[in-house]
């Protein structure tokens, strides 16, 4: 059985929020899952349990660095 290694999500989604999604897919439920939360309010979401927070106006290099950090090589 395969599981995703990384979840990249926005905090605000149409039907629910990214915090709900992160809570539903906690690492103890999906072994080794890393989560990157994209948000316009990075200072307000530090306690949501994401592996990393990416400000909405991010540079591609910042995203690439996080992907290299969290994805298996």
User: Could you list the mean pLDDT of each consecutive 10-residue stretch along the chain, which spans 73 residues?
Assistant: 81 80 70 83 71 89 94 77
Return the pLDDT at 26. 67
Exposure string for 27-63, b = 16+ CB within 10 A, e = fewer: eeeeeebbbbbbbeeeeebeebebbbbbeeeeeeeee
Q: Are 5 and 68 in contact (CB under 8 A)?
A: no
Return the pLDDT at 29. 61
Return the pLDDT at 44. 67
Q: What are phi and psi of 17, to 5 degrees?
A: -100, 160
Extract the tokens encoding 71. Answer: 């994805």
Helix (H, G, I), strand (E, B) or coil at 19: helix
Return the pLDDT at 49. 75
Return the pLDDT at 69. 93
């Amino acid at each position: 059985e395969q599981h995703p290694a990384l979840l990249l999500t926005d905090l605000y989604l149409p039907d629910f929020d990214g915090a709900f999604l992160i809570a539903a897919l906690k690492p103890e439920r999906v072994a080794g899952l890393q989560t990157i939360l994209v948000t316009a309010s990075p200072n307000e979401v530090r306690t949501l349990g994401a592996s990393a927070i990416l400000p909405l106006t991010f540079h591609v290099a910042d995203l690439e660095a996080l992907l290299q950090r969290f994805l298996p090589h």
